[in-house]
Every structure is written in structure tokens, then in C-alpha cells.
Amino acid sequence: MTRSASPLLPIAYSDEVTAAKARGAPLVALESTIITHGMPYPGNLEMARSVERIIREEGAVPATIAVIDGVLHIGLDDAELEALAQTEGAMKVSRADLAFAIAERRTGATTVAATMIGAALAGIRVFATGGIGGVHRKAEETFDISADLEELARTAVIVVCAGAKAILDIPKTLEVLETRGVPVVTYDSPNFPAFWSRDSGLPSPLMLNSPAAIANFQAVRERLGIDGGMLVANPVPAENEIPRREMEIYIERALDNAERDEITGKEVTPYLLNTIFRLTDGRSLATNIALVENNARLAAEIAVAMAV
Amino acid sequence: MTRSASPLLPIAYSDEVTAAKARGAPLVALESTIITHGMPYPGNLEMARSVERIIREEGAVPATIAVIDGVLHIGLDDAELEALAQTEGAMKVSRADLAFAIAERRTGATTVAATMIGAALAGIRVFATGGIGGVHRKAEETFDISADLEELARTAVIVVCAGAKAILDIPKTLEVLETRGVPVVTYDSPNFPAFWSRDSGLPSPLMLNSPAAIANFQAVRERLGIDGGMLVANPVPAENEIPRREMEIYIERALDNAERDEITGKEVTPYLLNTIFRLTDGRSLATNIALVENNARLAAEIAVAMAV
Amino acid sequence: MTRSASPLLPIAYSDEVTAAKARGAPLVALESTIITHGMPYPGNLEMARSVERIIREEGAVPATIAVIDGVLHIGLDDAELEALAQTEGAMKVSRADLAFAIAERRTGATTVAATMIGAALAGIRVFATGGIGGVHRKAEETFDISADLEELARTAVIVVCAGAKAILDIPKTLEVLETRGVPVVTYDSPNFPAFWSRDSGLPSPLMLNSPAAIANFQAVRERLGIDGGMLVANPVPAENEIPRREMEIYIERALDNAERDEITGKEVTPYLLNTIFRLTDGRSLATNIALVENNARLAAEIAVAMAV
Ligand SMILES: [Mn+2]
Ligand SMILES: [Mn+2]
Ligand SMILES: [Mn+2]
């Protein structure tokens, strides 16, 4: 269902993306880590299909990005999506190792950073995700900061998210984005959201109230020759949110448990998310799905506005 | 008095800058935050005019950069300068939001970072300011670091200043500049200055003693293909300085007051500068004006040397 | 023995490098700080000659990089190598001051960062060194982080080393490399090495087991348009290593002595290395030479594989 564009760089566009590019239709990139590492089968497949459907309903074309057996896919057909949703042991690839997965003929799910690189390579300027990585709590001691922030400083893609995952240090994440010159625009709200919650308690650096305004802002950036990406923070709908006061209790408890159980390094984030899932009786996952769908809708609207 | 260069990118060059560019005359960029946020009217207007006059006396052409009602101005005529000096509520724009002010048709004063972007866009290679932003005190806890440092690492403009504002953490600011590969050249002094004081107590990474040597250094960088800017630190003249031992007392007191009054975030820097103004009976402002004028003179000399 | 390529940019290629470039032969860059600042004469000259010999034996051509009297040398003939090995007071140049040494007609030994810049300028894609700079211990307080990490994030050269010098904070160094998107590949071992020791106790982000695989990984990165360098960590041969448990005792003692003797700033690293030399009865130097030779061999093999 896909074609390889080059014998040297194994890249495959789905038929739908190929057709969209040919007619200049608006495209929205999607990451694959949420599919392979974010939720279990078959919920992950349902979420992935629902997000793609929303993007099509809004008049844009979805392009889920992943490395499958060493081929960089820009857009997956339904059989590929289903297979990826059942894959075990996929790498989680970022800027440092996207090319590694290709070179070593591995299967790799793309993080925000690697999806941005794939999107930019394919000429896709808008990307919908759940939450970006950021500055980890205690990063003042560990220096643990996601490569997503570096990528936002470098690569000209609009990333639509519900903020940074609230288990991170959000004030420090906003500071690093400011230092690196990344615009942070909250959609239709003066406050920066906190993933599961509509409000992090922190004012948003910038606010815009329409997809057209966001598209225009990005167009001016490009004409000025300002490179790097833009973060659009889209608060989860009120009916789906878990308010901040409530979430903070769960997050604190999850952090305490992680310390008690001596969880460190790469194990911390999945441990925290699982603990929060348990503490909220699964509401955190329902909110996660709702916010990804909400972001897909806004990303499609922005892509449509940019194509005008 | 100005013309718009493009319907897509609203940019307006002053007549003086247009003529200078046509004949290849040396240009010096100037920021506008110092006008709108740095001192009150009419002192700010007098300072702005005096700085422009000094640059002309040295044989170069000043280009004050600002966004006025959504148009990026490279060079202001006197009426525009006067209007800007009386503007209330201008945005303070950096890399992240320079394009935002243009897209949203706002008025924005350019920080060091945004002025560098505007200068580079207009082909202006030298820029005079008071002091750059840097690493804030307690940044090891807050991660509060100015986007000016990022811009110096990226954009090929020579920034002539009197060091970083001494309310910042100067040792850490020098470390970040070293890490990011930004040359720090102190003019005619072995020690890095501290804005109001000629000497921060820290050795300067590099020293040069003539505008021609600075121009030559930058020319070699460009030929090597090394991108990014250069910081030229120009100690305030001895007759205008407030010595470091004295300033440190005022700065410590201002920091104590800020803590007592629970000043946080973006409020800290203006609070500190106002407190220091009060504690020095206005001498800090007189020194500030003197050092900006001193920097304008050196910047013009460097621009002239680069045009040879 | 060398020719100047341009009157504007004083750059001189050795005859051997010129011939290699003409016939498309594989090249390996070498730094010069190790010669001028790393060990005393005549040991430094013997080491430099031995490293060059190893590269030639593997079918590649060595290009030692240095600034001599304001000329950027890409490749030194034997007389130049000998003279450099006896030079006193050479600058130690990084990204910020490589052009300064050229502009001011000084002699400068190139660090990892500056050697990468020289190599990229000369079209050399592989570089062998001992250990890279990184995040210094206590950098959470001092912000002291080597410009080598910035250069790895920017410049497309493969740097073959034995890890970061173990006097640094290795966990934080790996975090910064991850954040900046730099691939860290350990050669034929799952664990990241620690310069004098084969194992730092930390897992390596990536592992590859052949020069061809490393060459292929880099080729895919280039085809994807991913800029920046790659770190290849090559554990010192077992017969030459000083095991980690032993080294940690020496390093701790050296750090204690440095604190007792109030050594600060740029003095710390040479002080620590000298103390460790003394505490190990010179074994640390023998290991250092062995690992540089080991890295030269692997770098040559990678360069040969890339030329295929
Ligand atoms: Mn991390
Ligand atoms: Mn700040
Ligand atoms: Mn340092």
C-alpha cells in the first residue's frame, strides 16, 4: 500500500499521503510512541483510528509516522496501523536514534522530536500529539531534559499538545522554551494547560483564539526566516478534564511511590503514568484519549488554515 | 517617511537606512526596549536621540529597530522615535514573539535577541546596547536564562554592551556563553565589566584593543563559516562608573528587598533596577546613559572598520 | 611542505592531506590540545607520531589540526609536529576562539570542538581523540559545561573517544547529549566507558559492533538531513585499563585535594589529571596513550568504511 521513495533512504509514503501531497491538501503528522508505549492493545488502535478519522473529518489528511523494519513511514494504512498497535518491543526513537532504527532495520516508534523530524522531511508543518516531553522534576540535580525541547528550538513544525505532561516540572519547561526562543501559544485560554487539567496555574506566554491566527503567526515567522517550531497548547475540554487540585494529589502520591520503590531513569515516566492510571481508576487514560482527539481536531483546523 | 518592502512581510526601512544600504555605508542597529521599558519619558527620547547622534558623528548610520502597529521598522525617523518614547504598554519582544507582534499588528519593543534577528534580516552586522540579558541569580533553581544567550549562539551580529546587567549571575552567564561557543571580547581591558562598574572581578575570555581588530576577528569567523554572534564588552568610562564594591552593596540590598516583598518572575528585573535607582539617588541611570553612549561610539567604529 | 589555500582565510593543507583529498582517500582528523596541553615533550611527540602511524597502517590519512602562527593547519608534516610538540604557551582554542587565534596570528591547539570545526571545513568526517569534554562535577552549581557538547549537537563529524574524561560528571554528560540529540554509540560493548576504565557503570544509549555499521548509521543520518555529530565511545583495551573501582578511589582523592588546595576554574582539570598521574604512578598516562591509539585505529576503520 506504500511506495519507497529512494533506494538510499528507505522512506515510504502511504497512498493517502502521496495523493494529499500531489493535490496540496493539508496534512497533519501524528506520532507513534503513543501507540506502542502509551496505551495497551486494542485501546491504542481504537485511539489511533479515531484520531485519524477526526483529522479527515476536518478536511485534512493524517500522516502517522513510524519506522517499521527499517523503513521510515509517513502515513500508515490500516493494516500497518493494526500491526504497529500489536508490536512488542519497538524502540522509542528520538533525534539521536531515528536514523539508528532505519540503519539497523529495526521498528521504532517516534517521539515528539523524531516525529517533528519526519514531518519536516515530508513537508508536513502541523503535528498533533498528547503532551510534549520537557524538564523532569529534579532536573536541577539530574539534568534530565527531553530532546523534544531541543527539537522545538530547531525544527519548523507546529506541535499541538495539551501542554507538557504534568508529571514534569512545568515552570522549568516554560523557562527552557523561553530561553530557546520557542513560542508557546495557548489556544483560547490565558493559562498554560497541564495535560489532564485545563490550567497549570501558570500564565501562557502567548494566547491566540483561532486556527487562522495561529497559521498567520507561523507564516510571519517563516517570512522573517525565524527557524524552529511552535508549541500550541490546547486545554483538554472541560467535560474531560481532571482538575489540577485533584491531579496534584495523584501526582504527588505517584512521585512518593516511585521514590519508595527506588524507580530511576527511563523507568520513572511509565511508572508514574501507570500509578496515576490506577489512582484515578482509569480516568487519566480517558482524559488522555480525549485530549489527543481534541488536539487532532485543532491541528487539522490549523493545517487547513495554512493551506489557504 | 518609510517604505514597506513587501506586502507579505510588513517591514519598513527609514529613509536614512535605505540610503545607507544603497551606498554601502556602515550601519549600527539599536534596540527599542531601552526606550519603552528602560527609562521614563522624556529622558528615554533624549537618550535615544543622543545615541543616534553619536553613531552619525562616528560616520555610521543608526537603525533603531521596533515593531510599530505590526510593521517591523529598521530605523525610525524622529517623529517615530518620539511617538515610541511616549508609547505605553508596548510588548517586549524576543525571538519567540517578534513575529507574534507583527502578525497580531501590535507594537513591540525589541530585546537584544529580537534586535539581533531584525539586524541580521536587514544585513546589519553591529548592534549597540546597554547590557545583555543572561543567567539570572538562582537560575540553578529556576532555570531562568535569557533568550539573548541563545541568540548570540545563533545569529551573526556583533553585540556591543557594557557586560551583562550586574543583577544577573555573571560567572554563570560567562559559562553559558563559553559552552555555546560565543566569543566574549572585552575592549581594551583584561577584565569583564559589570555594567555600572568597569570590572566584574572576572577575567575576560578574550581582549582586543581596536575596532579594526574586532572587525578582523569577525571577518575570520565568517570566512571559517562559524555562525553565531560575538559579544564585545565595553567597560563604562571611569568618570561615569559606580565601582563594583559600592554597587554590590546596592545590588545585595535590592535583592533582599525583592525577597522581602515577594517579587517573582518578570517583575524581579524592573523591581531591582528601580530599587538601585533609588539607592544610588539616580546615579545608576546616569551611568546607564553614559555606557549606552559609550557603546554606540564603539559600535560605530567597528561598523566603520568592517566597511573598509 | 604545505600550501595556503586562500589569501583571505589562512588555511594550509599538508601535502599528504592534499594528495588524499585529490584521490578521495579516507581521512581522520586529530586534535592538537593533547599534544600541547595533554602530556610533556617528548612523550607527546611519540604519541602523536604513533597515532598517525596507526591511521596510515589502517589505510587512512591522518590530519592533525592546529593553528600555527595564525594559519589553520589541516595536517602537519613531521617538522611541524615536532615544533608544535615543543611549543610553550599555545592557546587552547574552542569554537569561541579558533578564529581569534587565526585573526591575531597566534598559535592555538584545537580542542575537540575546534577540531570538529576544522575537520568539517576540510571535508573530514571522522575524528579520533582521547576523551571529550562534558559536564563538570558540580555543574549544577557552576554551570561549567564543555563547548564540546554544543559542537557535537551542531557539526557533522564522528568523534571516536574512550568516553568522557572520568573526572567529569558522566551521568549528566549523557543526559545533555540525549537532550541535544547526539547519538552515543559504544563500540562492541553494552556499557558506556569511562576513559581509563572500560565501563562507567552506565548503559550505553546505543551499541554497534563494526566500523561498517557505524559508517552506515552516519550515512542514514546524512540522508535524513539530520545535522550534528555522533559520539563513538570505544572502551580502552582490557590489558590497558585501570578498572573503575580502582580509578574511583584516585578520582575521589584528587577531587578532595583540589578542594583542600582551593583549585578553581580552568586550573581544576590539569590539577586533577596531574594528581591522578601521581597517584597511579604514571599508569593513567600509559592508559591514556593506549586509548588514543585504540581510538585512532577504530576511527581509521570507520573512515575506510565510509569511503567505500
Ligand atoms: Mn531524559
Ligand atoms: Mn527569563
Ligand atoms: Mn568550562
Tens-place pLDDT, residues C59-94:
999 999 999 999 999 999 999 999 999 999 999 999
Distances from the Cα of A273 to the Cαs of A146, A253, A268, in angstroms?
17, 12, 9
* Per-residue pLDDT at B9 exceeds 90: no
Contact criterion met (CB < 8 Å) for A224 and B147 = no
Q: What are phi and psi of B71, to 5 degrees?
A: -110, 130
Mean pLDDT of chain C: 96
Report the chain A residue with the minimal C-alpha distance to residue B150. A180
Domain-wise residue ranges, chain B = 1-124, 133-308
Q: What is the pLDDT of residues B174-211, one digit of tens each?
A: 999 999 999 999 999 999 999 999 999 999 999 999 99
The residues of C assigned a catalytic role are 31, 165
Bridge partners (DSSP) of residue A34 are: none
* Per-residue pLDDT at A5 exceeds 60: no
Q: What is the pLDDT of residues A135-149, one digit of tens each?
A: 999 999 999 999 999
**pLDDT at residue A1 in the model:** 43
* Per-residue pLDDT at A233 exceeds 80: yes
pLDDT band at C1 (very low <50, low <70, confident <90, very high): very low
Mean pLDDT, rounded, for C271-295: 96
Q: Which ligand is nearest to the CA of B145?
A: 2
Interface of C with A (CB under 8 A): 135, 139-140, 153, 171-172, 175-185, 205-206, 213, 216-217, 219-221, 223-226
Q: Among candidates C277, C293, C272, which has minimal Cα distance to C129?
A: C293
Helix (H), strand (E) at residue B113: helix B112-121
Percent of all residues in chain A with a pLDDT value above 70, rounded to a whole number = 98
* Per-residue pLDDT at C205 exceeds 70: yes
All three cell numbers of A171: 515552570
Domains A1-124 and A133-308 are alike in CATH topology:
yes
Q: What is the pLDDT of residues A48-105, one digit of tens each?
A: 999 999 999 999 999 999 999 999 999 999 999 999 999 999 999 999 999 999 999 9
pTM score, two decimals?
0.97
**pLDDT at residue B264 in the model:** 87
**pLDDT at residue A35 in the model:** 96
Whether A203 and A213 have beta carbons less than 8 Å apart is answered as: no
Angle at A82 between CA A78 and CA A86, to 5 degrees: 165
Q: Among candidates C234, C228, C224, C130, which has minimal Cα distance to C192?
A: C234
Cα–Cα distance, B29 to B69 (Å, whole number): 20
pLDDT band at B113 (very low <50, low <70, confident <90, very high): very high
Percent of all residues in chain A with a pLDDT value above 90, rounded to a whole number = 93
Give A22's Cβ-side CA count (13 Å radius): 7
Cα–Cα distance, B68 to A198 (Å, whole number): 34
Cα–Cα distance, C242 to C235 (Å, whole number): 11
Least confident of B2-11, C53-62, C177-186: B2-11
pLDDT band at B291 (very low <50, low <70, confident <90, very high): very high
Torsion of CA C225, A303, A229, C171, to 10 degrees: -70
**pLDDT at residue B7 in the model:** 60
Cα–Cα distance, C51 to C32 (Å, whole number): 12
Contact criterion met (CB < 8 Å) for B102 and A224 = yes
Q: What is the pLDDT of residues B60-95, one digit of tens each?
A: 999 999 999 999 999 999 999 999 999 999 999 999
> Strand C184-187 relative to strand C158-161: parallel, antiparallel, unpaired?
unpaired
Contact criterion met (CB < 8 Å) for B98 and A224 = yes
CATH number for the domain formed by residue range(s) A1-124 = 3.40.1790.10
Interface of A with C (CB under 8 A): 6, 8-9, 72, 94-100, 102-104, 113, 117, 121, 140-147, 149-151
Cα–Cα distance, B29 to B124 (Å, whole number): 7
Q: What is the pLDDT of residues A271-298, one digit of tens each?
A: 999 999 999 999 999 999 999 999 999 9
Mean pLDDT, rounded, for B17-24: 97
Interface of C with B (CB under 8 A): 6, 8-9, 72, 94-100, 102-104, 113, 117, 121, 140-147, 149-151
* Per-residue pLDDT at B234 exceeds 70: yes
**pLDDT at residue B78 in the model:** 96
**pLDDT at residue A7 in the model:** 60
CATH topology of domain B133-308: Indigoidine synthase fold (3.40.1790)
Bridge partners (DSSP) of residue C194 are: C197
